[in-house]
Structure 1
């Protein structure tokens, strides 16, 4: 028996198709995942199918100083992933928010990554 996809899955696939159908600009993808406690971000190279840089609120650097998974954690993760991407020479990326709406933790991550120099 076939079931309808959930709203989150349909939203995720719709966003990914829009990103992947842009043939004019080939960029790396800044993907965001958030759970109830933590937030994760990674820059993905879709051509070679590998993760270039990543950051999360699970890292020891963050847990030693702050802890938690709120907007403060998201902005720290955004800063770290932006710094690491710029160190690797990646300045232009495409923001992939996944199935999440652009507000709260996802928005604070994106804003801090832009403030640190990533273009999307």
Structure 2
């Protein structure tokens, strides 16, 4: 039976997330979502089930509305690093979901690291 692209993506996402959760208990999760038009990231506290900080390319103050490229991803990464510092978070683990660590996802991660997040 052939699996659809969506099914394979969901399996990959859960495989990545479950492996990360086993290793990083009690640490916040930096979760990335990339669509064809936007990129967004959330800093999630899984113990309490709350989102501590978030950033998206849809925010007008970042100046990248409607753009989904490497530069926009880098700005979103810088913004989440600033907001995480404001919330008092320095350590987290990077949940890339089912997306490959390449291009926009990598640019976001590198910008967040440069901004002071450790993962």
TM-score (norm. length: structure 2): 0.91
- Whether 1:32 and 2:48 are equivalent positions in the alignment is no
5+ residue gaps in structure 1? none
5+ residue gaps in structure 2? none
Where 2:23 maps in the other structure, the secondary structure is: coil
Q: Does the C-alpha gap of structure 1 residues 66 and 22 become closer, same or farther in structure 2, counting only changes over 3 Å?
A: closer
* RMSD across aligned positions (CA): 1.7
**Stretches of 4+ aligned residues off by more than 2 angstroms:** none
- 2:50 paired residue number: 50
Q: Does the C-alpha gap of structure 1 residues 66 and 49 become closer, same or farther in structure 2, counting only changes over 3 Å?
A: closer
Q: How does 1:1-120 map to 2 (within 5 A)?
A: 6-22=7-23, 25-62=25-62, 65-67=63-65, 68-120=67-119
Q: Distance in 1 between matches of 2:101 and 2:21?
A: 19
